[in-house]
Amino acid sequence: MNPTLDLYSLLRDELSQLFISWEFSPVHAARVWRYLYWECIDSLDGMQDLPPRVLRKLKEEAFLGSLPTALETRSSDGFTRKYLLNLPEDRKIETVLMRYTGRVTACISSQAGCAMGCVFCATGQMGFSRHLTTGEIVAQAVHVQRILRTQPGEHGDSQRLRNIVLMGMGEPLHNYDAVIKAIDIFRDSAGLSLSGDRITLSTVGVVPGILRLAKEKKLLHLAVSLHAATQEGRAALVPAAKKWPLSELMAACQTYSEATGKRIFYEWTLIEGKNDSEEDARAVGRLLGKMPAQVNLIPLNPTQGYAGTASRSESARRFQNILADEFSIPSTVRQRRGIDIAAGCGQLAVNA
């Protein structure tokens, strides 16, 4: 009988309690945790210092849910790699490694496919297959960390994973429990040791999930996909807006900011002639008002299922200037990475 317990799905305390239930010392659990998140082994056979009886029990009861690489693609920008990873039932997901000056970021998937159906997003165009488990979410971060440990950076940058963005395939708040548990594992000081300020969760605007984050006061950066400043305009781009209207979304965002004291990053995909005018910028300013906010402007990345084109750089600058000068709202224009390998925002998709 094959074991069904994925070690990547366990919090450190849960792992310790498991070893106690087996009548083993928690010291062995601490050693296993180090193998998982410091050594980043890809097989239980790599735990060579464990006593044979402990390793034997571990193999009988649990498995290490490493996700095999089906394909690695490297961008011509020299900083971005995309990994097509195999799930157990032969579905696949995509994970992206991005290097910046002094830091490395992993863009991680939370679902195979996505049910939200955003019209310009390749993942939304492919539809929903299933939620990822906590272990499958964690395994992606460990996959990137393992690469950083074994493959020196081309540019002499950090060989430690410093940031995680849950902006890959799927809607994180549609898979709330698995995602939040994975974040708790990422934040463990004896493991990957990522602070909440280095973890960003991006949502299309799942109102119940935002309110739950507010109630539980989870330490992370929240990014909300806005893309339009009216209910009609947003519903045309983001079908989920029909279920969670803009007014409800903004009320939930206000609740989140008040409960946590944190600003929200509002994502705005710039589509030429669609939502990049001066009036669009002013509508954003009026919508966000005095809320603690920053706007991330993202030039549209090409996908086969959407005919729109990215706004020109002058349109992005004009949009930024209006937000800053008329509304005192800070904004940034997202640096485009990995477009040639379909690793950019909204481009992740596989045939499930």
Q: Which residues form the catalytic set?
A: 94, 345
Per the CB < 8 A criterion, the answer to whether 104 and 286 are in contact is no
For 115, counting Cβ atoms within 10 Å of its Cβ (0-12 exposed, 13-18 middle, 19+ buried), the class is middle
| Residue whose pair of structure tokens reads 């463990």 in the numeric block | 188
For residue 214, the number of C-alpha atoms closer than 13 Å in the C-beta half-sphere is: 19
DSSP string, 272-322: TTTS-SHHHHHHHHHHHTTSSEEEEEEEPPPBTTB---BPPHHHHHHHHHH
Dist CA 352 CA 140 (whole Å):
18
Cα–Cα distances (Å) from 325 to 88, 275, 305, in that order, read 52, 19, 36
Element (H, E) at 338: none
CA neighbor of 349 nearest in space, from 31, 114, 104: 114
What are the backbone dihedrals phi and psi of residue 22, each rounded to the nearest 5 degrees, phi first?
Answer: -85, 0
CA neighbor of 343 nearest in space, from 167, 142, 161: 167
For residue 24, the number of C-alpha atoms closer than 13 Å in the C-beta half-sphere is: 22
Between strands 163-166 and 80-86, the pairing is unpaired
Angle at 151 between CA 148 and CA 153, to 5 degrees: 75
